[in-house]
Amino acid sequence: MTSINKKEIEKFSKIADEWWNPEGKFKPLHKFNPIRIKYIKENIISNFKLKNQSKPLSGINILDIGCGGGLLSEPMARIGANVTGIDASDKNIKIAKLHSKKNKLKINYLCSSPEKLKIKKKFDVILNMEIVEHVEDINFFLESCSKHLKKNGLMFIATINKTLKSYIFAIVGAEYVLRWLPIGTHDWEKFVKPEELKKILMKYNMSLNKLDGMYFSVIKNEWSLSTDLSVNYIGKFTKN
């Protein structure tokens, strides 16, 4: 079995050169990054009761799955985490390695999927950011991910709800009207409801800890947390 959707990998490999261009094809992710970083950082600090002021995630081992060009791996490494970033696209990994080297950051980048990852150590934190809606089999993918997480470890998942509103906003609005994303970036059939995500993860001894909506304000031109889960949402799960 595989969690890799070849079409999705090809699609993202074609635009891999644009990962670090804040005005390029990944502009929405660059806009999204500050709220994701803040959310992940604050939740890790409170969960593991970390006290280091200068490098707040010092000593925490993070596995960033579907890391792309390293948009999340790099900020996590900068604030002290030991980061392993994996992606099924070889081109993404090459871009990520090059960029981290340029910025003198030690990140272990590997071209792999969670089921093929041959690392024996388990991680304190797993990041699944904007990835579950692009995999071949979400059940198999999440089962494979959970095997790499320590007991009491955290898994963060950010994805898109399967609602009429998400079809209008995330596909029609973002891809066709505003042209924020290349047409075909998302497939509504692959969007996942929070209840479904929770149900799948329960099978792998993961329990939901926290769930928040994410909302983009056109006026402020920034993302913020919200109670509305109908389009983008982010969840924190703990391994029992």
Cα separation of 208 and 239, whole Å?
9
For residue 62, what are the contacts with CB-CB under 8 A and spacing of at least 6? 73, 76, 81, 82, 83, 84, 123, 124, 125, 126, 127
In this prediction, residue 185 carries a pLDDT of: 87
Element (H, E) at 217: strand 206-217
pLDDT below 70 — which residues of the chain? none
The residue whose two tokens read 């149900």 is 199
Nearest of 16, 18, 140, 26 to residue 90 by alpha carbon: 16
Q: According to the model, what pLDDT value does residue 180 have?
A: 78
Q: What is the pLDDT of residue 83?
A: 98
The pLDDT of residue 173: 82
pLDDT of residue 115: 97
Q: What is the pLDDT of residues 8-47, one digit of tens each?
A: 999 999 999 999 999 999 999 999 999 999 999 999 999 9
Calculate what percentage of the chain has a pLDDT beyond 70.
Answer: 100
**What is the C-alpha separation between 177 and 181, in angstroms, rounded?**
10
State residue 204 phi and psi, 5-degree precision.
-110, 30
Question: Strands, E, within 60-196: which ranges?
Answer: 61-65, 82-87, 107-111, 123-129, 149-160
Neighbour tally for 10: CB within 10 Å: 11
Where does 6-159+188-239 sit in CATH, by number? 3.40.50.150
